[in-house]
């Protein structure tokens, strides 16, 4: 059981080797590398080596400016086809391209993508598409500040050497605070036969405060034979006791068409697996559209599509996780999935403590079933049993902005059904909110007015008996699959 818990902890987030912070230098170098349409002598791997060394180790790559703490690698439009795994990045750097679909890093189905492991410092990735990679598109450990913007991860042609694939994975095991900003990101098109896939995963396991902001992200068309996790955020710690806090503010996110052939699926979740009592990781989920999450009906369990999960290892310890939902749409779940749930999986993994996972509504949430979310979606503006919810969602399409979205069709019960969210002024397309008399629920803000009535298809939130019939074998599959995410750090 201890080994199971260790694997479980591995599956939620990776720690990193702690080293001393280094004094920053007030310098910055810039290197431009070769692509197929803008050829030059300087290759991407050579530029990374120069950044790591802080010197012109590869004379093909001539820098502009002096090496320091704000160095930049510029990729013009075109494709960089890898011939080996990219070198691990160990120094602060920004890698920027000409735009999603304009600059492409192609792993050729056999080479890993961006791999970052910092003792301290910052990392940024922008305006790039990563495709046909092996194992990981982008693996980022221990950066103090991470910024990922306007990045596409295309799962076409990916390969795995470890049985597990990750799109974007970020983790930290440090004593300094972490700030992570992810925006305008599109991860899609995986059709694989792997033990597991984690499309977007962020976690911590240290004595620090982590603040994560995710805005305008779409995850879609993910098919795997084994475990599929679309977006998972949280914490794990086996021995460290401190005041660390993980807060994730996730808005304008679409998760659609995520399936497994033989195993479990998680749409969006917050997790906490701890051996000591630590603050609860908090996920504030706002204006999300979660549609068509499916696992085989033959699976002997009901696994929640949107979930808060916790487990505590030691007797007397309490592991908490908190998911606060506003303006969330959950529809068209099928097979053995259910729309909402909270799980204490301690007894399953041999934990002697208490897992206290909480899913709380701040209003404006909508579910198309009448059983699994009703204990959580209890605000007057929440609606359960909205049976026609999915039929008023248009297919995923380019509706403007950087990421595709699912438009609310005219007459959708989600139009003007949301609550006002302080600080949220746009939808996933950067269109202003609200367009009508109130916020719409979901990631897309419709130009249409509120439907005349939805009384025949929806019921206002009500309380009732929570669903607790989670079958042991299925939950074990979920947690062990999660375990593959993290060892003491993400493994490349």
Q: What is the 3-state secondary structure (H, E, C) of the chain?
A: CHHHHHHHHHCCCCCCCCCCCCCCCCCCCEEECCCCCCCCCCCHHHHHHHHHHCCCCCCCCCCECCCCCCCEEECCCEEEECCCCCCCECCCEEEECCCCCCEEEECCCCCCCEEEECCCCEEEEEEEEEECCECEEEEEECCCEEEEEEEEEECCCCECCCCEEEEEEEEECCCCCEEEEEEEEEEEEEEECCCEEEEEEEEECCCCEEEEEEEEEEEEEEEECCEEEEEEEEEEECCCCCCCEEEEEEEEEEEEEEEECCCCEEEEEEEEEECCCCCCCEEEEEEEEEEEEECCCCCCCCEEEEEEEEEECCCCCEEEEEEEEECCEEECCECCEEEEEEEECHHHHCCCCEEEEEEEECCCCEECCCCCCCCCCCCCCCEECCCCCHHHECCCECCCCCCCECCECCCCCCCCCCCCCCCCCECCCCCECCCCCCCCCCCCCCCCCCCCCCCCCCEECCCCCCCCCCCHHHHHHHHHHHHCCCCCCCCC
Indicate the pTM of the whole model: 0.87
What residues contact residue 111 under an 8 Å CB cut-off, 6+ apart? Answer: 82, 83, 84, 85, 86, 133, 134
Q: How would you write the pLDDT of the chain (492 residues) with one tens digit per residue?
A: 333 333 333 343 333 222 222 333 446 999 999 999 999 999 999 999 999 999 999 999 999 999 988 899 999 999 999 999 999 999 999 999 999 999 999 999 999 999 999 988 999 999 999 999 999 999 999 999 999 999 999 999 999 888 889 999 998 887 788 899 999 999 999 998 888 888 999 987 766 788 999 999 999 999 988 878 888 887 654 434 445 688 999 999 999 999 988 887 889 999 887 755 567 889 999 999 999 998 887 775 678 889 898 888 778 888 888 999 999 999 998 887 889 988 887 776 677 788 888 999 999 999 998 778 888 999 999 999 998 999 999 999 999 999 999 999 999 999 999 999 999 999 999 999 999 999 999 999 999 988 555 444 444 554 333 333 233 333 333 444 444 344 335 455
Spatial separation of the C-alpha atoms in residues 382 and 365, rounded to whole Å:
5
User: Residue 475: what pLDDT?
Assistant: 38
Spatial separation of the C-alpha atoms in residues 490 and 392, rounded to whole Å:
40
Spatial separation of the C-alpha atoms in residues 303 and 315, rounded to whole Å:
26
User: Residue 139: what pLDDT?
Assistant: 96
User: Residue 465: what pLDDT?
Assistant: 33
Q: Residue 307: exposed, middle, or buried by beta-carbon count in 10 A (0-12, 13-18, 19+)?
A: buried
User: Residue 447: what pLDDT?
Assistant: 96
CB 345 within 8 A of CB 236: no
User: Residue 2: what pLDDT?
Assistant: 36
User: Residue 492: what pLDDT?
Assistant: 54
Cα→Cα distances 292→133, 277, 305, 334, 368, Å? 26, 36, 10, 7, 12
User: Residue 476: what pLDDT?
Assistant: 35
CB 204 within 8 A of CB 210: yes
């Amino acid at each position: 059981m201890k080994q199971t818990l260790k694997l479980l902890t591995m599956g939620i987030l990776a720690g990193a080797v702690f080293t001393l912070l280094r004094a920053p230098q007030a310098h910055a170098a810039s290197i431009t590398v070769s692509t197929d349409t803008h050829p030059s002598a300087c290759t991407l791997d050579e530029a990374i080596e120069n950044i790591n060394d802080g010197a012109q180790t590869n004379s093909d790559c001539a820098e502009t400016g002096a090496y320091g703490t704000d160095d930049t690698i510029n990729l013009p439009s075109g494709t960089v086809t890898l011939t080996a795994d990219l070198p691990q990045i160990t120094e602060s750097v920004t890698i920027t391209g000409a735009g999603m679909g304009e600059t492409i890093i192609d792993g050729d189905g056999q080479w890993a993508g961006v791999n970052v492991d910092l003792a301290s410092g910052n990392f940024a990735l922008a305006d790039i598409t990563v495709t046909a990679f092996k194992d990981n598109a982008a693996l980022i450990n221990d950066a103090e500040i991470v910024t990922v913007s306007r990045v596409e991860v295309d799962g076409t042609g990916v390969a795995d050497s470890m049985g597990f694939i990750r799109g974007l994975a970020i983790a930290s095991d440090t004593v300094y605070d972490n700030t992570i900003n992810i925006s305008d990101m599109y991860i899609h098109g995986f059709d694989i036969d792997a033990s597991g896939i984690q499309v977007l995963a962020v976690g911590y396991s240290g004595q620090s405060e982590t603040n994560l902001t995710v805005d305008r992200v779409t995850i879609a068309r993910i098919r795997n034979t084994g475990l599929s996790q679309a977006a998972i955020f949280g914490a794990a710690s086996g021995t460290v006791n401190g005041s660390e806090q993980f807060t994730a503010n996730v808005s304008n996110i679409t998760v659609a068409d995520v399936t497994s052939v033989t195993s479990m699926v998680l749409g969006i979740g917050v997790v906490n697996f701890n051996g000591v009592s630590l603050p609860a990781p908090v996920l504030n989920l706002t204006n999300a559209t979660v549609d068509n999450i499916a696992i085989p009906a033959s699976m002997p369990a009901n696994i929640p599509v949107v979930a808060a999960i916790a487990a505590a290892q030691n007797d007397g310890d309490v592991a908490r996780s908190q998911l606060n939902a506003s303006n969330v749409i959950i529809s068209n779940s099928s097979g053995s999935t259910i729309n909402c749930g909270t799980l204490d999986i301690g007894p399953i993994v041999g934990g002697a403590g208490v897992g206290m996972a909480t899913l709380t509504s701040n209003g404006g949430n909508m579910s198309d079933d009448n059983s699994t979310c009703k204990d959580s979606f209890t605000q007057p503006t929440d609606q359960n049993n909205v049976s026609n919810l999915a039929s008023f969602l248009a297919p995923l399409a380019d509706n403007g902005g950087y990421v595709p979205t699912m438009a609310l069709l005219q007459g959708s019960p989600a139009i003007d059904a949301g609550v006002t969210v302080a600080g949220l002024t746009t939808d996933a397309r950067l269109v202003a909110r609200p367009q009508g008399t109130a916020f719409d629920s979901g990631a897309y803000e419709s130009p249409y007015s509120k439907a005349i009535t939805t009384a025949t298809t929806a019921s206002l939130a009500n309380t009732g008996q929570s669903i607790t019939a989670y079958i042991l074998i299925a939950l074990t599959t979920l947690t062990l699959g999660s375990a593959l995410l993290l060892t003491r750090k993400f493994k490349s």
